[in-house]
Amino acid sequence: MQYLVPILHQSPSASLNHYHNSRGFLEALLQIIHFLCTNVYKILTITYVHCNLIVVVNVFKNKVKRLLHEGKVAIGAWVTINSTDVIEALSRVGLDWLLFDMEHGSLEVSDIQRLLPATNGTDTVPLVRIPWNDFVIIKRVLDIGAYGIMVPWVNTRENVEAVVKAVMYPPQGIRGFGPRRAVYYGLEPSNEYFKSASDEILVVVQIETEDAINNIDEILSVKGVDVAFIGPYDLSANLGIFGDFEHPKFKSAIDKVLNSCKRKGVAPGMAALSVDDAMNALKMGFKFVSIGYDIFDLTRAYRSNIEKVRRYLSFLT
């Protein structure tokens, strides 16, 4: 790696020019390619033109999908605040993914397109929860550069098949070809995105009803599903035991999902309601876990701080 360290402190063209006439040129070039392929998970293009030599490296790799397929954990948070400042900050705190919420949040496709660039330069993967199982919405959020989707209210095998078809390009699916920001508006090779998108886009289906629990094996048998995600409030509500997460019926449903995920090779996911809940979910075996929800975390932090200050004031009076 001795050639890689100085290279990272220079522009690619300057670095390559520096090593072009040296014995270390080829090794340095290979080091750069290896570094990009193993550490960068955004679409990148590096072009070096000199003496008719052109080197192009295109990378579209989904870090979260890789982690989950390796049986590792991917930690993330929900985004509902329509602010580039919030996204830029959250994408730099060490989260594996951020989920932009179109179902219960007020974000629209145009909002998300404006917010996504705030994750540039990080390895935090941008995902979108769409408001409904609609192939047009799926196509639009993928075209603007989302690396995956979460789909609510998935209850049957047919529901999942519709999701997977909407994500995949023909012949596997029905997604129309017209990526925008996903290929940086034509600056990246469209054919490369076409070939890699189906393998790299993360597909998360929400298991939130009794029908979904009863059909879980069929749902997770559909090729292309990466995560079975549980929202505890919706699931408990649909089981008739809203908020009672200790109820045997709720615990039985959780066990059924975890067991099916293990059999089918799908990562189980959980919307944790607190850090303690997240740690408990990880202990149970969940792999795709949220630890925060931007607006709720903000209000909880301020509420906690003001309560501490007011308690202190009470001692002074």
Active-site positions read 104
- 158-174 as b/e: b if 16+ CB within 10 A: ebbbbbbbbbbeeeebe
Distance between CA 63 and CA 123 in Å, rounded? 7
What is the Cα–Cα distance from 33 to 55, expressed in whole angstroms? 10
Give the Å distances, CA to CA, from 234 to 139, 202, 250, 271: 26, 22, 11, 11
Residue 208 and residue 152 in contact, taking contact as beta carbons nearer than 8 Å: yes
Beta bridge partners of 206: 229
Distance, in Å, from the CA atom of 157 to the CA atom of 258, rounded to the nearest integer, reads 18
Torsional sign, CA 133, 134, 135, 140: negative
Q: Which residue has the tokens 């308690």?
A: 311
- Residues 210, 299: Cα–Cα separation, whole Å: 32
Residues 32, 10 contacting (CB under 8 angstroms): no
For residues 174 and 138, what is the distance between their CA atoms, to the nearest angstrom? 11
Q: How many C-beta atoms surround the C-beta of residue 32 within 10 A? A: 22
Q: Is 194 exposed, middle or buried (0-12, 13-18, 19+ CB in 10 A)?
A: middle
